[in-house]
Amino acid sequence: MKDTIFDEFQNSVPQLLIRHKSILDVMTKYQESNARVNRALAKAVTNCGCLKIDAKKQRTPSDTSLRELPEYMDSHIRGVLCESCRDVIETELGANLFYIAAVCSLLDMDMYNVMLKEYKKIKTLGIYSML
């Protein structure tokens, strides 16, 4: 059963695309919103300090199977988002979703169907879907 929140969200977006109705404008605004998500994450580390990034080479035993691989992989994230950083990142991710919906709308694509198609792919292919 299709969740109507996707339709309601996507259908409301074109009404708000006044100055940025061109696909070129939406593409660049989407790219900018991606950068703002990245910036908010970086600020959680560099300004707030609620998160730390401890990045290093991922080490896995040579005989590790693909199914065992997640046990050895690390996100490199240390700490927990504070409420302030969480709020900023949620806001930026929301804007990102807005522009995804805008791209879908301008291309006459259904955002729910795009998500459903990807969901079916990852359910079918499992761990092989992102190789």
- Over residues 59-96, the pLDDT tens digits come to 888 898 888 888 889 999 999 999 999 999 999 999 99
Q: Is the pLDDT of residue 125 over 90?
A: no
pTM for this structure? 0.85
Residue 96 and residue 37 in contact, taking contact as beta carbons nearer than 8 Å: yes
pLDDT above 70: residue 1: no
Q: Measured between alpha carbons, how far is residue 16 from residues 39, 49, 63 in Å?
A: 25, 35, 53
Q: What SS3 class is residue 121?
A: helix
pLDDT at 67: 82
Give the domain 4-128 fold. Helix Hairpins (1.10.287)
CA distance 76 to 44: 14
Rounded distance between C-alpha atoms, residue 131 and residue 127, angstroms: 8
Tokens 């969200």 belong to which residue?
Answer: 9
Structure tokens, 94: 């929301």
Contact (Cβ atoms closer than 8 angstroms) between residue 65 and residue 72:
no
pLDDT of residue 128: 74
Conformation bin of residue 126: beta by default, left when phi > 0, alpha when psi is -120 to 50: left
6-44 confidence digits (pLDDT tens): 889 999 998 888 877 899 999 999 999 999 999 999 999
